[in-house]
A and B are shown apart, each in its own frame.
Chain A
Amino acid sequence: MPEKSGDVVQGTLDMLILKTLALESMHGYGIAVRIEQMSKGVFKVNAGSLFVALQRLQRAELIKSEWKESENKRRAKYYALTALGRKRLDTEARDWGRQVAAIARILEAS
């Protein structure tokens, strides 16, 4: 167990999931692992918050799901981005970039 597991910044999990799915469709565990890998282990994704987010995104029609065979011959639910989800990811990434830059400026100024 890692010494310190950073929770995902509030409200960004949806965006991270969308980003992960932008490359290829993936099942829940895959998404969790990918987020952890990409963040170099900074973020740890809890199953509860992950599946709540997946349900929310699916309800909002940003992602869609289907049951498929996984790489190790196990049935798993695969999630993929919808056109709407792709658009949302673009806008969120842009907004995020702006916000981060702004916050950085504030922190540097002080």
Chain B
Amino acid sequence: MRLLRTIATGLQSLLRRKKTEQDLDEELGAFLELAAEEKMNRGMSRKDALREVRLERGNLEVSKELVRSGSWESFVETCWRDLVYAARTLRKSPSFTFVAVLTLALGIGANTSIFSVVYGILLQPLPYQDASRLILLNETTPRVGTLSVSYPNFLDWRSQNSQFAQLAAVSDVGFNLAGVNEPEAIMGEAVSPNFLSLLGVKPFLGRDFDPSEEKASASPVLLLSYSLWQSHFGANPSALGRTIMLDGRGYTIIGVLPPNFRWPGKTDVLEPIGVWAAQNPEGVTQRGSRGDMVVLGRLASQATFAQARSEMEGIASRLAKEYPGANDQFGVVLKPIRDAFVSEMRPAILALFGAVIFVLLIACANVANLLLVRGSGRTREIALRLALGATRNRIIRQMLMESFLLALLGGAIGLFLAFVGIRGITGMIGPDRLSGATVEIKGVVLLFAAAIVAMATFIFGLVPALRSTKTNVLANLKEGSAGAGSGASQNRLRAVFVVAELALSLILLTGAGLMMKSLHLLLSVSPGFQPDRVLRMEMDLRSAQYDKDPAIRNFWKRVLDQVSTLPGVQSASVGTNAPMTDSHGRTDITVEGMPLPKPGSFPHPDVHVISPDYLATLGIPLLSGRNFAPADIESSQQVGIINAKLAKEYFPNGDAVGKRFMFGRPSTDAANWIEIVGVVGDTKLYGLTNPARLETYRPFLQAPRSEMDLLVKSSVDPAAMTSAIRAAIASIDKDQPIFAISTMNQLVSDSVSTRTFTLILLGLFSGLALVLAAIGIYGVISYSVAQRTRDIGIRIALGASRKDIFHNVVGLGLRLTLIGLLFGLIGAFAVTRVLSSLLYGVHSTDAVTFIAVSLVLVIVALLASYLPARRAMRIDPIVALRYE
């Protein structure tokens, strides 16, 4: 309250300055008159009386100044005057201002961009109420790791636990949406009715699910995501109550999710778990059936994560004993919901954040150097002002104001750069990996930018300001030349800045070098197949017309017939779980004759269901035996192909062909045995960095699937085939959506995109750092040459060879570079390990990389000192001696 009033009176006197001045004038005038009058009463003349008063009471003008400066508003005023003065001085040296502002803008822009990413992806609070109490639960086995939850287990968890206030089951579902726009595939979640209230989310429009909608008798209803509502229903509230066709079934829209709703998976719609249950009866009844379900829980008010975990582990081990057939070796794993949103990009983002901070420090060091040069050019001006009575503090303040103005301008331009930069970066990350995070310039980001501006002002402004005002007034006024002042120590300080810049740049360069080498090694890893000119797309037959088996088989056969005759197509095939995609289907197998392991320890290969041309389309080599043939049909012998890794582990004698295995646990039904007819090469199913895994293949005619990838190898650019293929599919079923269209090459590069992203940005930042450091060293050397012009002139006149001079100057640059190199190498050695998780095939202290980047740095630094050295060499002694 008091503070407010103080501010108010201050503002008042600022705004009504004239009135305040008049008041003060009048009051002091009255003071003078009253004092003088008294003296005049004692018989003094008016003139003498006034003189006396001034002597006794001090100069009234000085008093006025004292009163004025005693208030905060006068501080604001002088600051404003300083700012105007600073703007004027900066305008007088446009090239200095340009370089300094640009340098700072780059540093601040890079920082603001990356901070937006850090905030958007890693820091931004999740849009849930009390998100820190939300836990995700999965099942787990020692052999496979994290797994989906079976619905009967979820029901038991829910009834037996006491540490969670609520639990909700969340199952990934996909639909074919037809009849609104083009047929398309959408994603969603089937959830327990308490899902939204558990998260603390209210529908944007319409109603939440009702508890009765947990039962399988629930009628089909759904909530739309905000974006789907926008794109497909024109954001029209009348969408509520409408019926839309998903997989050929009518669903009534009962609500719309809020715009900021987030879930780890892509969520276009939510349906109640009861509707899911009606369509997945085996998922509800069979405890061993684990689809795509995760359980969400909110901790009870007193519970801790550790308590919840130990209780859940107890429940899981009881359930494992109670239902050994389905649950033996199955445990439970808990993680805070935040972890589900923390992408694999986290280490990359943090490393990049560190990198931009380095860039900012380098930029600050550079500007500090520029200011030091300017400061030494201004020694006379400063000495003069000190002599005229300015206090040192006042001059420091004024110089800081100049730095602040530079930082402010840099910040404004930097913010603009960030605006552009953020778009580029989010483009590189891609919407899939953002998983709903919004990366943009928000309030927090602006605050951050303001903080850097303030910090930068002090980092680069304070040292030069302190340094340039610490001068000997007399000496500087006497000295004829503009400069030299405290030359030696100034130069030492500037050398320190340059060494720091070089060291920081080297660290960044090392990081970029390591990433480059990793990416190069990674991209030369063979994926186990030929991705060139192969187009891949997904289809999922969901509508009722494909319920009966021959319909599925016939559909895929017709697709293959149609597509393989399209012009430009070399081979067309269908298959499941194509490499480098997110779709994986794994299951336990029993190999004939193997010792029986425990339930959680069966071999658990990926299963591909393929058409015979699949191997040819992807160029997967057949190592022994035969490929599937059109004759491998339902009624003939069940056959399978295995990959080299499975063959090596379970048939170490190389005699896999002709042996048998079956899916699932051992059974006595002889019809379940599948004969191995061939062995093929391993593929990098889960991305280039992941080791090969066990794989099995089955002919689609013997094991038809409704969800398949269509893979087409063409003799032309595969992307150009898309529309022809679409038309071919539409001619078979016009409501059948095709989705996830991409080339296999695209998928391969997507699988290393976090690394590519890191490399591009790290490369950019280290390049920037290198340029700034080069400017820094160039500045220092050329300044020292300019300072020593006379000295060099004398030495030439005395017979020093130009070569000596050249070596002398370059030697100075080399000395600085080597010191910077030394510190940089030590620093790089210490910090490159933060990149470890992003590196592939190269250690974070890889000697070759360290040597290579050191060479780059030395060469650039030498080039930067070469130019001033050449100038030094050409100094004409006569001109140099006449100079000054």
Query: Which residues from chain A sit less than 8 Å from chain B, CB to CB?
Result: 1, 5, 27-30, 32, 44-49, 51-52, 55-56, 59-61, 70, 72, 74-77
Q: Are A61 and B2 in contact (CB under 8 A)?
A: yes
Residues of chain B contacted by A48 (CB below 8 angstroms): 58, 62-63, 66-67
Q: How many residues on chain B are close to A (CB under 8 Å)? A: 27
Give CA–CA (A32, B58) in the complex, Å: 13
* Cross-interface CB contact of B71 among A5, A27, A44, A59, cutoff 8 Å: A59
Measured in the bound complex, the distance between the Cα atoms of B57 and A44 in whole Å is 8
Say yes or no for B30: interface residue by CB 8 A criterion: yes
A75 → B minimal CB distance (Å): 7
CB-CB nearest in chain A for B33? A74
A-side contacts of B57, CB under 8 Å: 32, 45-47
CA distance A75 to B29 in the complex (A): 10
Nearest CB of A to B453, in Å: 31
B692 to chain A minimum Cβ distance, whole angstroms, is 79
Within 8 Å of chain A (Cβ to Cβ): is B26? Answer: yes
Contact A70 B34 (CB under 8 A): yes
In the complex, B9 has a CB within 8 A of chain A = yes
Most chain B CB neighbours (cut-off 10 Å) among A44, A46, A61: A46
CB distance B31 to A47 under 8 Å? yes
Bound-state Cα–Cα, A90 to B605, Å: 89
Interchain CA distance A29-B9 in the complex, whole Å: 24
Q: Are A51 and B67 in contact (CB under 8 A)?
A: yes
- B70 adjacent to A46 (CB under 8 Å): no
Q: B55 at the A/B interface (Cβ < 8 Å)?
A: yes
B56 touches A55 (CB 8 A): no
Contact A76 B55 (CB under 8 A): no
| Contact of B63 (CB < 8 Å), options: A29, A44, A51, A72 | A51
B381 at the interface (CB under 8 A from A): no
Q: A47-B58, A48-B62 are in contact. Are A70 and B30 (CB under 8 A)?
A: yes
Find chain B residues with CB under 8 A from A70 CB. Answer: 30, 34
Return chain B residues, CB-CB under 8 Å to A77.
23, 26-27, 30
B66's partner among A32, A52, A72 (CB-CB below 8 A) is A52
- Other than A52-B70, A75-B26, give 10 A-B pairs with Cβ distance below 8 A: A1-B52, A29-B31, A29-B34, A47-B28, A47-B57, A48-B58, A49-B66, A52-B67, A72-B34, A72-B37
Name the B residues within 8 Å of A72 (CB-CB). Answer: 34, 37
Chain A residues lying within 8 Å of B35, measured Cβ to Cβ, are 29
Known: A51-B67, A52-B66, A77-B27. A44 touches B56 (CB 8 A): yes
Beta-carbon nearest neighbor of B27 in chain A: A77
Alpha-carbon separation in the docked complex, A98 to B60 (Å)? 36
Q: A47-B63, A49-B66, A59-B6 are in contact. Are A1 and B34 (CB under 8 A)?
A: no
Q: Is the CB of A1 within 8 A of B56?
A: yes
Partner of B5, one of A51, A52, A61: A61
Q: Within the complex, what minimum Cβ distance (angstroms) separates B52 from chain A?
A: 8
B26's nearest neighbour on chain A, judged by CB, is A75
**A-B pairs with beta carbons under 8 Å apart, 30 shown:** A1-B52, A5-B56, A28-B27, A29-B30, A32-B57, A46-B58, A47-B28, A47-B57, A47-B58, A47-B60, A47-B63, A48-B58, A48-B63, A51-B27, A51-B28, A52-B67, A52-B70, A55-B70, A59-B71, A60-B2, A70-B30, A72-B37, A74-B30, A74-B33, A74-B34, A75-B26, A75-B30, A77-B23, A77-B27, A77-B30
Closest B-chain residue to A84, C-beta based?
Answer: B2
Q: How far is the CA of A55 from the CA of B33 in the complex (A)?
A: 20
* CB proximity of A34 to chain B, nearest CB, Å: 13
| Interface 0/1 of B27-60, CB less than 8 Å to A | 1101101110100000000000000100111101
A85 to chain B, nearest CB (A): 14
| B69 CB to nearest A CB, Å | 9
Q: What residue of chain A has the Cβ atom nearest to residue B30's Cβ?
A: A76
A51 adjacent to B66 (CB under 8 Å): yes
Report how far A61 CA is from B2 CA in the complex, Å. Answer: 9
Look across to chain A and name the residue whose beta carbon is closest to the beta carbon of B62: A48
- Closest chain B residue to A56, Cβ basis: B70
For A55, give its contact among B2, B5, B34, B67 (CB under 8 Å). B67
